Each structure stands twice: as C-alpha cells, then as structure tokens.
Amino acid sequence: AENPVKMNTFLIWTNGTVSDFELRCSFKLTPNNDQRFANSGIQYRSKVVDPANWVVGGYQADMEAGPNYTGILYEERFRGILALRGEKVVWSSDDKKQVVGSVGDAAEIEAALKKDGWNDYVIIAEGNHLQQFINGKQTVDFTDDCVSKRALSGIIALQMHVGQPFTAQFKDIRIKKLKP
C-alpha cells in the first residue's frame, strides 16, 4: 500500500515470440485490501510498448477477484474489451465488433470460478482465431478479421495491474506450438 505501482506493468517472457500456440497455466488472485480488488491477466501475441517500465500492449486473457472480467478478452493499450465472457465475436475488417453467437452463459461460467483457489486457464491462438477456457469452460471465441489491428504473433507476459494491494500467482505455465 505504501509503494503502489504507477501504471500496469508486466513480467515479460523473454525466450521469443509465439504465433499459433496453446498456453496452459493455473492462476490464483488474492485481494489484500478492503475493496476486495485484484486484477491481472495473461498477455499474448503482445508487443513491448515501453521497455523502460516493462509495459506491453496486445491481447489479454483477463482475470480479477470481482464478478465481471475473468475470462474476457481485452486488448491492453489498444481496442479495449474485445469479447465479454460467453461471447462469440467476429471483429470485422472495418474495425467493428460483431457478436455472432455464444459459447455459454456468462453467469454459469462465473459460477465455475474458484474465487479463493487455483483456476486453470487455457488459451488457444490459431491464425486470427482466439479461444479462451477457464476450468474447462470456454469463456470466449474471437475471430479478428481487422488486418490493420490484429496480431498474429508476439510475446507472452503476465500483468500486475495498478490499484490496491493484491497477490497474483501463476504456476504450471506451459506453451505448445501448434505449427512449426
């Protein structure tokens, strides 16, 4: 509390970039504050936008201690929320969001989250098609047809969000390339 971060910062994986891949990990968020705030995310196909401060921008598999954002697809520093929990989205070539279906009920996906325990996140990125799953439930299905803004490769990073004190833990992080 006496030494807060001034902007979102990231732990950046420095062993290269990924394009088509499957990432698996477990995460646990613990709010260490009266507001019950905790927010983090897994950046993928991202790019470093401020190397001096370890800041990245790009696709983010979001997570939080609250009821709204865990499982959504967010684009840090760029387009913002791309797909809410339960949405199947096509982002058009003219940069517009089109909800074209559902992968499940947002409340049912939320109910499967272990608020004070470990949760399993899976991210699958193939071409312009992105899918995210938590605890075996698909949270979003996203197709990015906006050639001028999409990312087909980039870095992986873990987010430390500004705000009240909290703990974000990750374990068993595994990445499998889907194409050579």
> Using one digit for the tens of pLDDT, what is the confidence trace for 88-130?
999 999 999 999 999 999 999 999 999 999 999 999 999 999 9
Q: Which pTM was predicted?
A: 0.97
Decide if pLDDT at 17 tops 80: yes
pLDDT band at residue 1, thresholds of 50, 70 and 90? Answer: confident
Fill in the DSSP letter of residue 28. E
Measured from the Cβ of residue 140, the count of other Cβ atoms closer than 10 Å reads 25
**Order of strands, edge to edge, in the sheet holding 97-102?**
97-102, 87-91, 137-144, 129-134, 119-126, 21-31, 166-177
pLDDT, position 18: 96
Report the greatest alpha carbon distance in the chain: 48
What does the pLDDT look like over 144-165, one tens digit per residue?
999 999 999 999 999 999 999 9
- Residue 110 has phi, psi (to 5 degrees) of -60, -40
Per-residue model confidence (pLDDT) at position 168: 97
What is d(CA 132, CA 167) in angstroms, rounded to the nearest whole number?
Answer: 22
Question: Over pLDDT 70: what percentage of the chain?
Answer: 99
pLDDT at 180 over 80: no
Query: Stretch 36-57: mean pLDDT, rounded?
Result: 97
pLDDT at 32: 93
Tell me what the mean pLDDT of segment 37-44 comes to.
97
Cα 32 to chain centroid distance, Å, stands at 22
